[in-house]
A and B are shown apart, each in its own frame.
Chain A
Amino acid sequence: MKLELGKVHVKDVQFGDCTKIENGVLYVNAKELEAEVLSDDRLIGCHIELARPGESVRITPVKDVIEPRLKIEGQGCVFPGVMGKVAEVGSGVTYCMDGACVVTVGKIVGFQEGVIDMTGPAAEYCPFSQTQNVCVVIEPKDGLETHVYESAGRMAGLKAATYLAKALADQTPDETVTYETKPLLEQVAQYPDLPKVGYIHMLQSQGLLHDTYYYGVDAKQIVPTLMYPTEIFDGAIVSGNCVAPCDKVTTYHHEHNPVIEDLFAQHGKTLNFMGVILTNENVFLMDKERHSDMTAKLCEYIGLDGALLTEEGYGNPDTDLMMNCKKVTKRGTKVVIITDEFPGRDGKSYSLADLCDEADTMISCGNGNIVIHFPAMDHVIGMQDYVEMQIGGWVGCKYDDGSFDAEIQIIIASTIANGFNKLTARGY
């Protein structure tokens, strides 16, 4: 399967009469975009705000972040099974709006999610402090059931991204990257002397606000399966996760999965990238046994010498992480884990919720319990009334001048556990 990703660089975002990209500037017709989002009768309000790197702007609460992409050649659409027909994606040509994002903002549930600061100390931790953000601020109908509202919020972001992506149609990409994975036996034959490496991608699948969708299907319903890596670049995986901002794998992070990008970067050089095994993080212990068995079996079956293993979340997923690591290793495939850490406020407790002897090679994406100061910003997109109730905040963490203290786990994707960032931790 071969995909050409055409990157159209976006260096600025502005409101305009029609939605288009010109000389690297994305112009957004806010009225049209609002109408598009409001076509969902579960929402009664929507307005668009723009946030650019370096501006004194805070965005909160954030539900999801999405990069607009458009299918130019090949079957299917971006976000298959959600924004269009269920049809296999990952082949042909796809354009992406490199440097611009849709950020879905608004109250999600009683407790709240996530902060993006466009400047200041917190900006260092957040990948979306460096992107041109089109913020879709939504307001739900009163009394909407929580599951229904979660779905409405998720769809609002995907709709906005799909709307903006249309502006890519007439563009010429500034940069093109081609990714290819061949059918198993051909792929083995292409680089017979290089170690065969795969990627075990664990999808969040614990329940409401803890879900992920693969071709529109709730990931807790899947059994471990093989995926061509390029499927993910076309939005085959969509985030429905909205608890624990710091290690939330946003839809943007699925589209930009760093493990897949970096495995492709070494493909044919130091390793032979064989493909992705998708599995989940179910809470039913028998599912865990069964799915970790199947994951280990697939690794053996396709002959992997080594695999990278990532999780999303803390607690229950750590058990899947360790079970996968143990079983895959025992079956003859070497494992490197990528994870983030929660050692408590004093940094002294054990960082994960589970352990095994085989987890001897781990990359840390940082300690989420570190407290930093968030200075006041000139403008807040959304509302920061709920900081004391947001994950990472506490009663009394807010000051009168609009600044507050909080653990960095309040920052969207600050310790994202797939190695997207440079943040890491060491023992002192």
Chain B
Amino acid sequence: MSKKIVHYINQFFAGIGGEEKADTAPEIQEKVIGPGLAFQKEFGEDYEIVATVICGDNYFGSNIEKGVVGELLEMIKKYEPDGFIAGPAFNAGRYGVACGTIAKAVQNELGIPVVTGMYVENPGADMFKKDVYTIETKDSSADMRNSVPKMAALLKKQIEGQEVFGPAEEGYMERGIRVNYFHERRGSERAVELIVKKIKGEEVYTDYPMPIVDRVAPAPPLKDLSTAKIALITSGGVVPQGNPDHIESSSATKWGKYSIAGMDHADKADFMTVHGGYDRAFITEDPDLCIPIDALRKLEKEGKIGKLMDYFITTTGTGTATNNAKRFAEEYVPMLKEDGVDAVLLVST
């Protein structure tokens, strides 16, 4: 009997449509669709793609809290697959995050081998490469012909219980797991060879690359708090009622800027929280716990701070990729500077 595979793709690769169809709800079809054809060819006769799960990228992103992952898992489980493929997503950010999320869930909940693939700068790569095998692809679907054989081979190896080699041999992104092996030469001998090369300016390698630490030098202290203009920023997911800009409840890809002009506190009639990483009951009841407008207005009245900026900036911190977080700041910091903000109060949850 052949091994059963389920394949996950988005609305675009399913041929349903582009951005305008990104709200497509999950569905499953018992046939091979789009990139699945290439996978089926690569797998050969002993494997069969028994079903293809399709979900719109926006639908996936905005329904994580509402249980889209569980819904998809139920659909997939029915087929009792031996392996699962998501994507490849190339450079499509939301698709990449969806592929990583569902692949991780299938791996953990169904306990079967999974593989996904995407471009190294896809935010999904940073978020999931440590958890699931992620084949490194180029940034567009033109790379399909290279990516599919690697993904198929890696999935087959796992299903058949063969040894999975390192990232260089298999083509997946390093998961950061340190694995032992016996080299043919002892360490001191290799080190002696390296020092000579390093002195001569020749190319050297390192067994253990240092993690890159993004250090930010602390800003100089304020000269005078009593004249300073202060802005409020939170990663606590507090947004106006109705979440007008659809900020995600986890793994945010955007931030929002909302007015607090004239407010003496944050009222529950005006604000809600969409954050998926804590018990929302308390902040739902009193949003000041996360955006302390009440306390800041008091300080403003007492003359302890100069002025509270009449808007605040918000996003959701949980699961948000660091490169997205960095991008948010790069987007709003020039605006804060232009508005003459002297300091910001960062409220986390």
Contact = CB atoms under 8 A, between A and B. Distances in A.
Interface in B163-197: 164, 166-167, 174-192, 194-196
Interface stretch (A104-112, A336-344, A373-381): A336-344
A355 B195 contact: no
7 A-B pairs with the lowest CB-CB distances in the bound complex, closest first: A419-B187, A419-B188, A364-B207, A258-B188, A347-B177, A306-B195, A195-B199
B186 A305 contact: no
Interface string B187-213: 111111011101110001111111101
Contact of A336 (B180, B198, B211): B198
Given A261-B188, A338-B188, A425 B195 contact: no
Interface stretch (A154-162, A211-219, A263-271): A263-271
A361 B183 contact: no
B231 to A, nearest CB: 33
A271 B194 CA distance: 12
17 contacts: A195-B199, A195-B200, A258-B187, A336-B191, A339-B208, A347-B179, A351-B208, A355-B211, A362-B206, A408-B180, A421-B186, A424-B181, A425-B207, A425-B208, A426-B178, A427-B177, A428-B177
B102 to A, nearest CB: 22
Query: Which of A343, A419, A427 lies at the interface centre, i.e. has the most chain B CB atoms within 10 A of its CB?
Result: A427
B187 A341 contact: no
B130 interface: yes
A271 B196 contact: yes
A126 to B, nearest CB: 13
A367 interface: yes
A262 interface: yes
Contact of A350 (B194, B195, B211): B211
Interface in A229-283: 258-259, 261-263, 265-266, 270-271
Contact of B178 (A265, A266, A351): A351
Contacts of A335: 195
Q: Of B166, B198, B200, B205, which is in contact with the most chain A CB atoms at under 10 Å from its CB? A: B198
Given A263-B192, A426-B179, A420 B186 contact: yes
Contact of B181 (A195, A347, A360, A425): A425
A308 interface: yes
B195 A363 contact: no
B124 to A, nearest CB: 18
Contacts, number: 159
A307 interface: yes
B188 A418 contact: yes
A337 to B, nearest CB: 8
Given A341-B178, A419-B189, A422-B184, A363 B210 contact: no
Given A362-B208, A428-B179, A334 B199 contact: yes
A63 B183 CA distance: 28
A217 B90 CA distance: 62
Interface of A: 124, 195, 197, 258-259, 261-263, 265-266, 270-271, 305-308, 334-336, 338-339, 341, 343, 346-348, 350-351, 355-357, 359-367, 370, 408, 418-428
Q: How large is the interface on B (under 10, 10 to 19, 20 to 34, 35 or more residues)?
A: 35 or more
Contacts of B178: 341, 343, 347-348, 351, 367, 425-428
A254 B86 CA distance: 53
A423 B182 CA distance: 4
B213 A197 contact: no
Given A266-B192, A428-B166, A428-B167, A367 B130 contact: no
Contact of B210 (A266, A343, A359, A422): A359
A335 B199 CA distance: 9
Contacts of B204: 336, 361
A406 B192 CA distance: 32
B190 A363 contact: yes
B208 to A, nearest CB: 5
A128 to B, nearest CB: 15
B192 to A, nearest CB: 5
A308 B198 contact: no
Given A424-B187, A425-B180, A363 B198 contact: no
A261 B189 CA distance: 9
Given A426-B166, A428-B167, A338 B208 contact: no
Contact of B189 (A262, A306, A347): A262
Contacts of B200: 195
Contacts of B198: 306, 334, 336, 361
A348 B176 contact: yes
A348 B185 CA distance: 26
B180 A307 contact: no
B177 A346 contact: yes
B174 A428 contact: yes
A232 B186 CA distance: 20
A41 B186 CA distance: 42
Given A347-B178, A366-B180, A427-B177, A419 B190 contact: yes
Interface string B132-175: 00000000000000000000000000000000101100000011
Contacts of A343: 177-178
A265 B196 CA distance: 13
Given A338-B188, A426-B207, 6 more contacts: A334-B195, A338-B187, A367-B179, A408-B180, A421-B187, A424-B182
Given A355-B213, A422-B186, A266 B166 contact: no
Contact of A420 (B167, B175, B187, B205): B187
A420 B189 CA distance: 9
Contacts of A361: 194, 198, 204-206
A262 B188 contact: yes
A357 B210 CA distance: 7
A356 B167 CA distance: 25
A23 to B, nearest CB: 30
Contact of A367 (B180, B187, B191): B180
Given A306-B195, A420-B187, A424-B183, A348 B130 contact: yes
A427 B166 contact: yes
Nearest to B174: A427
Contacts of A408: 180
B198 to A, nearest CB: 5
A271 B192 contact: yes
Given A360-B210, A367-B179, A426-B207, A197 B195 contact: yes
A129 to B, nearest CB: 14
